[in-house]
Structure 1
Amino acid sequence: MTTERDGLTRQGFLGGALAAAAALGGSAAQAAEPHRRPIPSSGEPLPVIGLGTWRGFDVGPGAAERAPLREVVTTLLSGGGRVIDSSPMYGRAEGVTGDLVAEASPRPFLATKVWTSGREAGIAQMRRSLSLLRTERLDLMQIHNLLDWRTHLPTLRDWKAEGRIRYLGISHYTESAYDAVEAVLRAERLDFLQINYALDDRAAEDRLLPLAADRGVAVLVNRPFGGGGLLRRLAGKPLPDYAADLGCASWAEILLKFVVGHPAVTCAIPGTADPGHMATNLRAGTGPLPDEALRRRMAATLPA
């Protein structure tokens, strides 16, 4: 799941001055070179900021509904981003994404998930995802919430060998399942892990992020804004003194820089349906990133 609860977060607290700064930052994001991290299993570099499609892309076929989403995708790709993550459980998001990226350039890195039980049901769901996303070869397929993972993993390995997918992985967003996630990471060779991680949700720091680094597994981070609640909580609070050193004009940029500042994180995928927010997110993937000492300070001084 990837969302920032657009419209309830930033516009309410940036204020006129910060909104203007964010707008300027949007232009800078398109011009600045984004940070990239390699996928450990291949060395292929990915920009550290991508796009999630939960909720925001679950819309109908109307031009008015889709126009801002088309601009979001254009902003992502023209600003140097690549990763777009979706799922069959995101309603109409896969189909909308497929329509919007059908003629996009450059080609995005498309990721989705399998979330069902049984081998044949899994194959049918994955085939439908490829059809909706309008591609014969998917960049990343993830077994969501480890549902029937022992059944699906051999299928994903077969599909990877056949060239139907380029990478395979697992995803989860429930901390109570992290022991099970850790066990799978230790037992199986995977390309990707998608997991929650945010300045107010650092449970993955203890074992999962270090283990992913040790095992050579790329990490996609969903909910980098704490599911939206953290941004709402920070509404109206002044930016910390280190914001200028990081080149941040908003709390959203600070939260993203904290996440992608972790060396085990390959790419954060905040969801948005707002082109301006997409530009701001991209800006967080450029310029200075916090080192470990600053990241510890950021966590210790997060406003209550």
Structure 2
Amino acid sequence: MPDRVDKRALSRALETGPFSAALRLAVQSSGLSLDRVQARLRERDVRLSKTALSNWQSGRTQPERASSRQALTALESVLGVPPGALARLVGPPRPRGRWVRRGPGDMRPDQAWARPDGLARALARMGATPETIRETARVAIHTFVDVGADRSLLSVRYHLVLRATVDGVDRYTAAYRSDRPSPTEIADTIGCRLGRRRDDDETGFLTYELLLDEPLAAGELTTIEYGMRFGGPHEERYLSQRVGCETRLVTVGARFAADLPTRVYHRRTASVADPGGEEQELRVGLSRSVRLVVADPPPGIYRLAWDWD
């Protein structure tokens, strides 16, 4: 009999994703083995291999073919989750072709973000896709957040070194997500200017494009800077930076205006479903700031976090 902890965890995963974690918890909560799941799908004239189910649970693959996505309807019924609960967590199909090949361990949208459906919607509203994001490789990423006297996030500053992966790149497309969204202004741009931006209020996604001063040929480098300012209380006690296999240097830092936190630490995870490795403590310097600097970082999510309690 599934326990209550599984039910609560499943409810959260169905709300926030990713698909792989939600499916894994749905299977555990159902009390069915993969053999029994496969047998019940066959009773509904749905053919789905155990290997496919296992790969979906681990995040190695996702339902991409039309037949696989259609099978999700039957799978939701077998596992006893609401209709569409799993299907809406599936990110867009993975890109194909030589120019979009990624390195080992690089993340798909459903591995990099909770609720990748919100990312896809927000990008679509400005005529873009996750493929658009890959037109610029981030060779170096420097991210710095200011924390106010009320412990709210005031602003985030980005300094990026970009490399074009195709000819004619004239913009940088990016995304930001918060569980506690507040009015956000993108300003103080250098080497670029703000183009279109779209929000997905349901999932807290903001997608935006920064128009480059000059278009780039494939392989050409440029740098841009810009800031994000938050117009209301925004007390998140961490800053996360997603890093792909093309990044050679990543910096994540924070500065505290008043009370210093009792603890600052960092942790890397391979995906949103990964519990991550051991937390490592960092010291706040005399300038009331702290930085995490990693050269040749493995792909993943790098989180800098702090506590006052």
Question: Structure 2-normalised TM-score?
Answer: 0.25
Question: Structure 1-normalised TM-score?
Answer: 0.26
Higher strand share: 2
**Highest CA radius of gyration, 1 or 2?**
2
